[in-house]
Structure 1
Amino acid sequence: MQLQEQPAFTGRLAREHELVQAMIAVHCRDAHGSRTLCASCAEIAEYADQRLARCPFGAEKPTCAKCSVHCYRRDMRERVREVMRSSGPKMLVHHPWLAFLHEVVDSRRPTPELPRKRATS
């Protein structure tokens, strides 16, 4: 698998990126016994970054659970759900500040309206 250059995230998207990567790392360590990401988890991490970079909400991105846009392919959505199910509860132990920000700050933000596409001439 060829690794692509990671997009540079800032602000809210940087925190979302950090959270998703941490969840994948916790899942991989516990489920696959790996100190570094296995090929399967690395694929999920790269796909999550691609989706995050293309999020139509940008910095106003809601949490995935509250999002009106389903940007993940069905197969990847199931894999990410599995990661979140297995690592979510453990985030309070491994990454308490990220878990706090996600649960208390991000999940309480109102879901923005989807930006309208501009007409091209």
Structure 2
Amino acid sequence: MEVVMSLSPRLDRELKTITVMVQIYCRNHHKSAATQANTLCEDCSGFLEYARKRLAHCPFAQQKPTCGNCTIHCYKKDMQAKAKQIMRYSGPRMLWRHPILAIFHLLDSRKKSPDPSHRHQKK
């Protein structure tokens, strides 16, 4: 049984963005039966589930900056490297396949990270 997490609109958009990025990356790097069936391979599926959990527990919530601008690096080192690899490959390709998500991501990346000492305050 899958647990559905309720996310703020900002985190929901971030989840959609990372999901699309992982799909683009997996489709072009992991030629397997799973990618042919338009699903993710086991490795990418595991990474996406990890990213979902991290987003669900993000202390910044609605004020969350993009991961590259964040003052708190909540991903493990190996997952952080995987995220960079996926984002570097998929980011430019998102402009063609999902231009609206790409533009929102670019706009979000221009926002400054909130002060980490205020991260647990709800607004």
- Quick one: distance in 2 between partners of 1:117 and 1:101? 25
- Quick one: distance in 1 between partners of 2:99 and 2:23? 15
Secondary structure of the structure 2 residue equivalent to 1:56 = coil
1:25 corresponds, among 23, 26, 36, to 23
Look up the match of 2:80: 77
> Which ranges of structure 2 fall in alignment gaps of 5 or more residues?
none
Q: Given residue 17 of structure 2, which amino acid in structure 1 is its aligned partner? A: L
Contact 1:67 1:111 in 2 (8 A): yes
What is the aligned residue count?
115
Q: Given residue 23 of structure 2, which amino acid in structure 1 is its aligned partner? A: A
TM-score, normalised to structure 1, is: 0.87
- Quick one: distance in 1 between partners of 2:99 and 2:70? 23
| 1:70-121 Cα shifts (integer Å, max 9, x gaps) | 1000111111111111111101111110001111x21122221112669xxx
Aligned structure 1 segments of 4 or more residues deviating by more than 4 angstroms: none
1:86–1:11 Cα change, 3 Å = same
1:67–1:38 Cα change, 3 Å = same
% identity of equivalent residues: 42
- Quick one: distance in 1 between partners of 2:109 and 2:82? 21
> Which ranges of structure 1 fall in alignment gaps of 5 or more residues?
none
Choose between structure 1 and 2: higher helix proportion: 2
Matches within 5 A, 1:1-121: 4-33=2-31, 34=35, 35-103=38-106, 105-114=107-116, 115=118
